[in-house]
Homo-oligomer: A and B are copies of this chain.
Amino acid sequence: MASEPVSIETLRAALHLAQAGGFCSFEGWVRNTNEGRPVDGLDYEAYDALATKEGERILDEAMARYDISHAVAMHRTGSLNVGDVAVWIGVSAPHRDAAFRACRYIIDEIKHRVPVWKNERYLDGDTQWVACHHTHRPHEHEHDHGSCNHNH
């Protein structure tokens, strides 16, 4: 959990191991619209201690499930603008298949389990806590944490 921007080079450095032949990364960027409403930016609030603990558990699970060399994740808190990096995941592995799968696993689990909340600022001045992710999980690790019922 980071309350200020973190350099991607710094995050990548820990993954750059000599036995790693593939590196997959995912970045979540603040988009300029959500459900058709123009977005000015957003504020992330986190339960820092538990978010860090749950994030580490997810990384440990990824290391156990996939043949990877190392995995790193960073999630921002605080005020972000359109284009800012909200979340960064990086995975290095001997082979690319494991790197892709583990990276996808980590971002999916973060979005469903880590206690972070997004308050969107709209261009019209309104703000709103995002009610729920509108994602389905069509993946091999599909399971429902029961934390999010789609109510709209």
Which residues of chain B are near A138, meaning CB under 8 Å?
Answer: 97
| Chain B positions within 8 Å of A104 at CB level | 100
Partner of A23, one of B18, B27, B32, B82: B27
Q: A: which residues have CB within 8 A of B?
A: 16, 18-33, 82-83, 92, 94-97, 99-100, 103-104, 107, 135, 138
Q: Identify the closest chain B residue to A136 (Cβ).
A: B97
* A100 to B89 Cα, complex, angstroms: 12
Residues of B within 8 A of A95 (CB): 135
A31 / chain B contacts, CB cutoff of 8 Å: 18-21, 94
Q: What 8 A-B pairs come out closest when comparing CB atoms?
A: A21-B31, A18-B32, A23-B27, A25-B25, A24-B26, A100-B104, A18-B82, A21-B29
What's the Cα separation between A33 and B30 when bound, in Å? 39
Complex-state Cα separation, A29 to B29, whole angstroms? 25
Q: Decide if B21 touches A28 in the complex (CB within 8 Å).
A: yes
Chain B's closest residue to A21 (CB) is B31
A18 to B81, CA, bound (A): 10
In-complex Cβ contact of A24 among B16, B18, B21, B24 (8 A): B24
- A30 → chain B closest CB, angstroms: 8
Contacts of A82 in B (CB 8 A): 18
Closest Cβ of chain B: how far from A67's Cβ, in Å? Answer: 14
